Amino acid sequence: MVERLAVLPFENLSSDPQWNWYSRASSAVVQYDLAGARNIFAQTLDSIAEAPSIQASHVLQGYFIVRNGRIGIRATVENLRKTKAMEHIDLDGPMAGGFLPLANELARRLSSEARTFGNSNENTFRSYGQALEAGGAGAREQALKAAVDMDSIDRAEAQYVAAVASGRSNARIQALETLVHLEPANARLFANLGGAQYERRNFQEAVRNYRAATILNPDDPRVWNALGYALAWTRDLNGARQAIEEYGKLAPGDVNVQDSLGEVSFNLGDFDSAAKYFQQAAQKSPAELLKAAEARLMTGDLGSADAFFAKYVGPAKGWRAAYEMAQWDFLTGRRTRAMAALEALMPTLGGEAKSLTLSRLSIWDLETGSSNAPGSWEVAGPIRLLLAGKFQDALPELEARYQRANPSNDGQIRLLLAWALVETGSIDRAATLIEMCPLPLSSGEPMVASLTFPRYFALRAAVFEKKGKLDEAKKNRELFLRYGGATK
C-alpha cells in the first residue's frame, strides 16, 4: 500500500522572520527527496484543507526553531483516515551546518529510498527557498536548477516538460515510461501515461497504466472513469462498467457516473441498458434525454425515441426548438418535412440563426439532391469528395484526420473513414472502425451528423454480409432504409 503524504509548510517558531524562507523550502525538499520512493508519494500543499485534492492518506506537518546557534525541527506524520499521529520526528543540528542537511535527513527518516536534494550550498538553497516564498514560477524553476545536481529523475522530468511543450507524442510517452520506472509511487504519472496511450489508441497499454494508477491511488474517481472508457475500447463491457461503478462509489451523486455507464453501454451495442442509464442521468441533467432518445433510436423503437426527444427539446425556446426538431426529423427518415420546416423558418431569422439554418439546409440539399434548398455552404475537403462519390480520393485526408483524432470524440471521422473503406472494398478494415458505435448527435459536430447516421447501419450491413451473417445484415439494412431512405 502506497502512503499518499501531504507535506505542509513548516511553521517558523523562531522570533526572527529572516528564516521564513525555510518554511516552504523544507516541505519542497521532502517532496523532492521522496520522488523515487516506492512506498510514499509526497506532494506539497499549502494547508491541510487541500489534502482531499490529492486523496492524501497522511499529512506531514511541523515547525522549526533557530536558537542558540542550533536548528531544531519537530515533525509529525498523521494518519488522516484514523485521525491520529503515527510518528514523531525530532531533528537538531548546528546552525553552521545549515538547514538543508536536516531537511534531507527528515526525508530519509520517512523512507530509506529517499534521494538527496541539493549541492550542499546553503546560499543556493536559501535562494531557492526565497523563490518559493515569492511565488514566481519562473524564478522557482531557475532557483531549483541552481539548487540541485540533476539526477535521472530530474532529467526525465525535464524531457517530459520539453516533449509536452513541443507536442511530440512519442517523446512524451517515452519520458513518461522513464518516469513511472523512476517514480513508482506516483499515480499521476501512470494516469498520464495511460491517457497518452489512450490517445494513441494503444488501449491495452492504457488499461495497464490506468490500473496501476488505481492501485497506487484507489481514491481518485477520475482515473476509474478513464479506466472504464479504456476497457470499453478493448470490448470489455463488464470491466468498463465495474470501473465506472467504482468511480460512482467515490463520487456519489455525480450525474456523470450514469452518463459514463450509458456511453460505454451505447458504444458496445447494449442500447437498452444505455437508455436506462441515460434516463437515470436525466433526472438530474435533462440534457441526457437526447442520449436516451438516441439509444432507443438504435433499437428501431422510433416511438420511444421521439418521446424522449420531445422531452429533451421541450424547454428550448423560439427558433432553436424548431431547428432541433427539424434536425431530428431529418435523421429519422422524415426528410421532406424537416427541410420544409427549416425553409419556412428562414424568413423569420437573422444573423447567426439564419446563417446556421442556411448551412444546415445546404448540407441536406447536397445529400438529397434537392433543388429547393440554397446551396451556399461550402463543404470542406473529404466530405465534398464523399458526397461526390470520389471515395478513393477522400481516403488519404480521412485517414490523416482519424489518426489525429482523440478516441474520446472521433465518432464522426471514424465512420466517414469506414464509409470510404467500404465503398473501396476494404470492408475488413471498416469492420474494426464500426465496432464502437458513436452517439449520432452527441459525439461530434451536429451539423454533419446526417452524414454518419443512419449510414452506420448501412456500414454494419456491409460488414455482416461479408461475414455471411445475413440475418444481421438484413436487420441493419432495414434500419438504414427506415431512417435514411424515406423522403416523406
pLDDT tens-digit series, residues 156-168: 998 998 999 888 8
Say if residue 296 is in the same domain as residue 439: no
Q: Are 48 and 10 contained in the same domain? A: yes
Count: domains in the chain: 4
Question: Which of 120-129, 324-333, 436-445 shows the lowest per-residue confidence on average (mean pLDDT)?
Answer: 120-129
Average pLDDT in the chain: 91
Residue percentage of the chain with pLDDT more than 90:
77
Provide the 10 A C-beta neighbour count for residue 131: 23
Query: What is the structure's pLDDT at 149?
Result: 74
Co-location of 134 and 9 in the same domain:
yes
Distance of alpha carbon 74 from the chain centroid: 41
Instruction: Provide the pLDDT for residue 417.
Output: 97
**Cβ–Cβ < 8 Å for 44, 28:** yes
Give the model's confidence band at 138: pLDDT under 50 very low, under 70 low, under 90 confident, else very high. low
- Tell me: do 327 and 218 sit in the same domain: no
- Kindly state whether residues 197 and 104 are assigned to the same domain: no
Domain final residue pick, 353, 378, 403:
378
Residue 130 sits in the same domain as residue 246: no
Lowest pLDDT segment from 135-144, 268-277, 304-313, 472-481: 135-144
Same domain, 236 and 373: no
CATH number for the domain that contains residue 182:
1.25.40.10
Q: Does 362 share its domain with 446?
A: no
Mean pLDDT along residues 181-186: 97
* Residue 388, pLDDT above cutoff 90: no
For range 222-250, the mean pLDDT: 98
Q: What is the pLDDT of residue 487?
A: 43
pLDDT digits (tens, 9 = 90+) for 89-117: 999 999 999 999 999 999 999 999 999 98
Output the pLDDT for position 295. Answer: 98
For 453-487, b where at least 16 C-beta lie within 10 A, e where not — what string? bbbbbbbbbbbbbeeeeeeebebbbebbeebbeee
Q: What is the mean pLDDT of residues 343-351?
A: 92
Does residue 19 share a domain with residue 129?
yes
CA 437 – CA 469 distance, rounded (Å): 19
pLDDT at residue 119 above 70?
Answer: no
Beta-strand pair 58-67/84-94? unpaired
What would the grid cell of residue 168 be?
511530440
Mean pLDDT within 452-475? 96
Q: Count of H helices and E strands in the chain?
A: 23, 6
In angstroms, rounded to a whole number, what is the distance separating the alpha carbons of residues 198 and 207? 8
Q: Give the Cα separation of 118 and 33 in Å (integer).
A: 10
C-alpha cell read off for 291 = 442520449
Q: Is residue 227 predicted with pLDDT exceeding 50? A: yes
Cell numbers of 402, please?
A: 482519424
**CA 372, CA 189: separation in Å to the nearest integer?**
56
pLDDT (0 to 100) of residue 445: 82
Q: pLDDT at position 312, please?
A: 95
Residue 85 sits in the same domain as residue 195 = no
Beta-carbon contacts of 375 under 8 Å, excluding residues fewer than 6 positions away, are 362, 365, 366
Last residue of a domain, one of 149, 181, 198: 149
Cα–Cα distances in angstroms (integers) from residue 454 to residues 272, 412, 416, in the given order? 18, 12, 12
Q: Are residues 61 and 192 in the same domain?
A: no
The pLDDT of residue 83 is above 90: no
Q: Look at residue 328 in the predicted model and tell me its pLDDT.
A: 95
Which domain range does residue 35 map to?
3-149
Domain containing residue 30: CATH number = 3.40.50
At 377 the pLDDT is 40
**How does residue 131 score in pLDDT terms, banded at 50, 70 and 90?**
confident
- DSSP structural state of residue 79: E
Read off the C-alpha cell for 339: 427541410
Which contacts (CB < 8 Å, 24+ apart) does range 253-261 have? Answer: 254/221, 255/281, 255/284, 255/285, 255/288, 256/225, 256/281, 257/225, 258/288, 259/285, 259/288, 259/291, 260/225, 260/228, 260/229
pLDDT in tens, 321-335: 999 999 999 999 999
pLDDT bucket at 137, cuts 50 / 70 / 90: low
User: What residue spans of 217-270 are helical by DSSP H?
Assistant: 221-233, 237-250, 255-267
pLDDT 10s digits, 267-284: 999 999 999 999 999 999
Q: Please tell me the number of Cα atoms within 13 Å of 182 on its side-chain side.
A: 17
Determine which of 142-146, 302-306, 475-479 has the lowest per-residue pLDDT on average: 142-146
Q: Is 371 exposed, middle or buried (0-12, 13-18, 19+ CB in 10 A)?
A: exposed
The total of other beta-carbon atoms located within 10 Å of residue 46's CB is: 11
Strand partners, 90: 74
Q: Give me the mean pLDDT over the 450-475 stretch.
A: 95
Give the burial string for 81-91 (b: 16+ CB within 10 Å, else e): eeeeeeeeeeb
Considering the domain architecture, whether residues 355 and 286 belong to the same structural domain is answered as no
pLDDT of residue 136: 64
CA nearest to 227, candidates 259, 258, 204, 249: 204
Domain end position, chosen among 149, 168, 197: 149
Other C-beta atoms within 10 Å of 374: how many? 12
- Report residue 433: phi and psi, to 5°: -80, -25
- 321 in Cβ contact with 328 (< 8 Å): no
Give the number of C-alpha atoms closer than 13 A to the C-alpha of residue 38, restricted to the C-beta side. Answer: 2
Model confidence at 376, pLDDT cuts 50, 70, 90, reads: very low
